[in-house]
Amino acid sequence: MMDGLIAGRLYGTPEQRTSKTGKPFMVARMRAECGDGENLFVNVIAFDAAPCAALEALREGDAIAIAGPITPKVWTDKQGIVHPALDAIAHQVLTAYHVEHKQRQVLSGQGGHEAAHEE
């Protein structure tokens, strides 16, 4: 397992599930475009509240970036062709909403960096 930062688009709608112990978690799939024009599918799971909430607010096709541990995998399509894939645990999720929200904070002088420099 290695840490990674992956950006792409949501493939399908994220689903909330419940563990055997009763704790909710989210699962999703995203498609990340590789440099050669191919797509890499990423199976995403989130356990913490913030990444789960971010995933829950998204719909198919939304832009997304996730950070966390990743594990390389392969999958076989109906024609028997093997494709690479990744499994990822989302410790952080960044969406277009988060970027716009942070930009508004910075422009209005409420960004975290300004407060840190004032002390």
Q: Write down the pTM of the prediction.
A: 0.78
State the Cα angle at 98 between 114 and 95, rounded to 5°: 145
Residue 117 confidence (pLDDT): 38
State the pLDDT confidence band at 100, using cuts at 50, 70 and 90. low
Question: Is the pLDDT at 5 greater than 80, yes or no?
Answer: yes
Tell me the mean pLDDT in the region 74-82. 93
Question: Is the pLDDT at 39 greater than 60, yes or no?
Answer: yes
For 51-72, how does the pLDDT look when each residue is reduced to its tens digit (9 = 90+)? 999 999 899 999 999 999 999 9
Residue 3 confidence (pLDDT): 94
The count of domains in the chain is 1
Task: Name, in order, each residue with C-beta under 8 angstroms of 95's C-beta and a sequence gap of 6 or more.
Answer: 54, 57, 58, 62, 63, 64, 65
Full domain range(s) for residue 75: 2-118
Helix (H, G, I), strand (E, B) or coil at 115: helix
Mean pLDDT, rounded, of the chain: 87
The CATH code of the domain that includes 30 is: 2.40.50.140
Question: Is the pLDDT at 112 greater than 90, yes or no?
Answer: no
